[in-house]
Amino acid sequence: MDDFYRDYILDHYRNPRNFGRLDRADASAEDLNPLCGDQIRMELKLNNRGVVDDVKFSGKGCAISQASASMLTEAIKGKSLAEIAKLPKETVLENVGIGISPTRMKCAMLGLKVLKSAAIGELAAWPDES
């Protein structure tokens, strides 16, 4: 668990990538983890081939939720909405490692849940439960 807070997690927490808002988003969603109050908003811009051209996230919360969301934004450029909708939970787990408790799993999965919600246009299920 101690190695849960690896250097790159802290780096993404303190220097989140693609943080902010888009002027005009083609798809967006936001959600919160009512258990702890973590909040994430994801905004996507698509190019004329229908793949992600730009992405911004915003929100607040723990290092796990914010770093997971930040790392996700780096992984989805060039993907279609259909591909994003199918991203497995392992996309996040590979970044944050294993040994995370069920409660903290929600923090890690929030970014992916919001991203999938933006892709399908409705509230997606928790990736760790589906």
Partner 1 sequence: MIATSAKVDRIIADFPILQRPTSRGKRLVYLDSAATSQKPQVVIDKLVEYYSQYNANIHRGVYEIAERATAEFEKARETVASFFNARTQEIIWTRNTTEAINLVSYSWGLTNLKRGDAILVTQLEHHSNLVPWQVLAEKTGAELRFIPVDDRGLHVLDNLDALLDGCKLVALSHVSNSLGTIAPLDVIIPRAHAAGGLVMVDGAQAAPNMPVDLKALDVDFYAFSAHKMCGPTGIGVLYGKRELLEAMPPFLTGGDMIRKVEYAKSTYNDLPWKFEAGTSNVADAIAFAVAVDYLKGIGMEWVRDHERQLVAYALDRLQTLESRGLAIYGPQDPDRIGDVISFNFGDVHPHDLASILDTEGVCIRAGHHCTMPLMEKMGWPATARASFYIYNTEADVEALIAGIEKAARVFKF
The contact set with partner 1 (CB under 8 A) reads 1-2, 4-5, 10, 13-14, 35-39, 60-64, 101, 104, 107
Q: Least distance from C-beta 96 to partner 1, angstroms?
A: 12
Residue 84 beta carbon to partner 1: minimum distance, rounded to whole angstroms: 26
| Nearest CB to partner 1, comparing residues 2 and 23 | 2
What is the dihedral angle through the alpha carbons of 68, 26, 82, 65, rounded to the nearest 10 degrees?
10
How many other C-beta atoms are found inside a 10 Å radius of the C-beta of residue 82?
11
For partner 1, the closer of residues 61 and 127 by Cβ is 61
Closer residue to partner 1 in complex, CB, 59/127: 59
Total residues found in the chain within this entry: 130
Distance of closest approach, residue 37 Cβ to partner 1, in angstroms: 5
Nearer to partner 1, 4 or 17 (CB): 4
User: Smallest gap, in angstroms, from Cβ of residue 65 to partner 1?
Assistant: 8
